[in-house]
Amino acid sequence: MVVAGLFALMAGVVPVLSDAGCRTVSRPVRVGQVIVASDLGAPISCSSQRRERALRYDPNVVAARALRDLAAGDIILRVENFALPEVRQGEELQLRTQVGPVLIERRVTALQPGRHGGKIFVKTEDGDIFATSLEGVAR
């Protein structure tokens, strides 16, 4: 299944093979921007027509990027979950760290896209940069 998803991301124009193989775009996405899970609606049925490729897989960030500007309501081929991060680069997050009975909270900015269970680099308001894991996303 993942191999078919990769093929759909890499091929130029591909036939739609699955009846529920498409997604709607829920908000405008600029060319080159990483697509995150909240940018897309639920899977929908595709027509049997061929669709032009709208995304490309970027192995450097393990995510899909828009090949062209996408408007809200556009229909694109399905994207595999591994290529859909939950946090986008530049997003403001709340970092929570607990050491014994002490809970430390800080505002940080994501320096790269990421998903639950993965690690990303973040930057604090003081300018410190470090890696942290995404256990839950608090915006």
The answer, yes or no, to whether residue 28 has pLDDT greater than 80, is yes
* Structural domains counted in the chain: 2
Same structural domain for residues 112 and 78?
Answer: no
pLDDT band at residue 2 under the 50/70/90 scheme: very low
Cα separation of 16 and 5, whole Å? 11
Residue 136's contacts (CB-CB under 8 Å, 6 or more residues apart) are 116
Same structural domain for residues 64 and 99?
Answer: no
pLDDT band at residue 16 under the 50/70/90 scheme: very low
Model pLDDT, residue 11? 36
DSSP conformational letter for 33 = P
Q: Is residue 78 part of a domain?
A: yes
DSSP conformational letter for 78 = -
Same structural domain for residues 76 and 102?
Answer: no
Q: Is residue 97 part of a domain?
A: yes
Model pLDDT, residue 123? 94
Q: How far is CA 88 from the centre of its chain?
A: 7
> Can you count the helices (H) and strands (E) in the chain?
1, 11
Q: Is residue 138 part of a domain?
A: no
- pLDDT tens digits for range 88-124: 889 999 888 888 999 888 899 999 998 888 888 999 9
For 126, the domain range is 92-133
Same structural domain for residues 76 and 99?
Answer: no
Rounded mean pLDDT of the chain?
A: 79
